[in-house]
Amino acid sequence: MSDQGTSASVAVEPGYAGLLRSGELSRRVDRARSHLADCDLCARYCRVNRFEGIRGAVCRTGERAVVHSHGPHHGEEAPLSGWRGSGTIFFSWCSLRCEFCQNWDISQRGVGQEVDAGGLSEIMLALQSRGCHNINLVTPSHVVAQILEAVLLAARGGLTLPLVYNTGGYDSAEALALLDGVIDIYMPDMKYGDSATAREFSHVRDYWKVNRAAVREMHRQVGDLVLDERGLARRGLLVRHLVMPGGVSGTETVLRFLAGEVSRNTYVNIMDQYRPCYRAFEHPPLDRPLRRDEFAQAIAAAERLGLQRLDEHRARLSL
C-alpha cells in the first residue's frame, strides 16, 4: 500500500505534455482509433465497428463523441472545484444502464450534440480560458479514442490543465493502457460490492471484478491524490461511492477493498445524495431515499477500516 503524501509542491505540467513532446501522444491516438474498428474501449467488449455506425453498440456512440454540456462546475469535490470551477465536459450516452440514474436523459436518451475532435479540443481550450482548474471528462469510458484525439489537438494549441477522468468505473484494461500517462486524476465510481447486484440494477456483467481491476490500475498509474499548496488536485486517485438504501451498494466491501488492497490514503467521497430517479421506483429498496443512519454507518465503516482521507462533505449531511 502507498503512503504517498497528501500535499506537495508538484510540477504544474500535466502528464500528456511530455507525451506530446516525445510523439507518444500522437501514437496513442492512432492506436486508440484502431480500437474503434473492433471496439473494446469499455468493459462490455461489444466489438462493434464504430466507423460504420452505432448498431449493436450499447453506448450508441459512433466515430464522434456526443456532448451534452460543458462549463465551470462548482459542485465537485473541493480539490477539483477550487474557486474557479472544474471544467466539466458531460458526454452523452453511457456504457452502464443504471435503473436509478440521476442523469438518465443524458445517459439513456443521449441528449446532446455530436462534436468532432477539433470541436472537443476547442471546448477544452475554452474552459481553460475561463480559468477552470482542470478538464473534467464526465462519463468518458465509451469515448476514450475521441478524447485522446482532442487532447492531442488541444495540447498542441496550448492546453496545460490536468485531465480528470470521471468514470462509472466499468473501464477496460485496453482503454486504461491507452490513457496511461495521459490522465492526471482518475475519479472512478465504485458503485457496488458485488457483481450480481450490478447485473440487476446496472445491467452489466462482472462489475465488481472489472471495477476492482480498473481501480487498481488507476492507482498504479497515478498513486494517491496529491494536492498543491493551494489545495487543488494535481495528480492521483479520487474514488466516489454512492451509499444506496438497504445496503445495495455493498459499502463495507468496497471500503475494505480500498483500505486493504489499494491504499488507506485513498481520497474517498462517500456520497449521501441518493434519491429515487428514473426507474428506481420499480426496484425496492431503491424506491426510497437514503436514511441518515445508513449514511452514518457508511462513515463509521470507513473510519473503522482506517481510511484517512474522507471528503469533507460528510460534515454537511442533510438527510
Average pLDDT of span 211-228: 98
Average pLDDT of span 34-39: 96
Question: pLDDT (tens digit, 9 = 90+) per residue, 139-197?
Answer: 999 999 999 999 999 999 999 999 999 999 999 999 999 999 999 999 999 999 999 99
Structural domain includes residue 304: yes
Euclidean distance between CA atoms 137 and 156, whole angstroms: 19
Q: How many CA atoms lie within 13 A of 110 on its CB side?
A: 14
pLDDT band at 257 (very low <50, low <70, confident <90, very high): very high
Q: Residue 292 corresponds to which amino acid?
A: R
Q: Residue 288 corresponds to which amino acid?
A: R
Residue 237, helix vs strand vs coil: strand
Euclidean distance between CA atoms 52 and 38, whole angstroms: 11
Euclidean distance between CA atoms 69 and 90, whole angstroms: 5
Average pLDDT of span 116-145: 98
Q: Reply yes or no on whether the pLDDT at 5 is more than 60.
A: no
pLDDT cut 90: percent of the chain above it = 89
The neighbouring-strand residues paired with 267 are 238, 309
Average pLDDT of span 114-128: 98
Domain boundaries, position 72: 15-316
Structural domain includes residue 5: no
Euclidean distance between CA atoms 99 and 199, whole angstroms: 11
Structural domain includes residue 263: yes
Question: pLDDT (tens digit, 9 = 90+) per residue, 40-78?
Answer: 999 999 999 999 988 768 899 999 999 999 999 999 999
Q: Where are the alpha helices (DSSP H) in the chain?
A: 15-22, 24-35, 78-81, 104-107, 117-129, 144-156, 173-179, 195-202, 207-222, 251-257, 292-304
Structural domain includes residue 227: yes
Average pLDDT of span 288-314: 92
Residue 131, helix vs strand vs coil: coil
- Environment class of residue 93 by beta-carbon count within 10 Å: exposed (0-12), middle (13-18) or buried (19+)? buried
Structural domain total, the chain: 1
CATH of the domain at 113: 3.20.20.70
Asked if 245 and 295 touch (Cβ cutoff 8 Å), the reply is no
Structural domain includes residue 135: yes
Structural domain includes residue 8: no
Residue 129, helix vs strand vs coil: helix
pLDDT of 314 = 46
Q: Which residue has the higher pLDDT, 317 or 99?
A: 99
Closest CA to 69 of 131, 126, 142: 126
Asked if 218 and 266 touch (Cβ cutoff 8 Å), the reply is no
Closest CA to 191 of 223, 168, 159: 168
Structural domain includes residue 159: yes
Structural domain includes residue 222: yes
pLDDT of 7 = 55
The neighbouring-strand residues paired with 166 are 138, 187
Residue 225, helix vs strand vs coil: coil
pLDDT band at 233 (very low <50, low <70, confident <90, very high): very high
Q: Which residue has the higher pLDDT, 104 or 172?
A: 172
Q: What is the mean pLDDT of the chain?
A: 93
Q: What is the pTM of this model?
A: 0.94
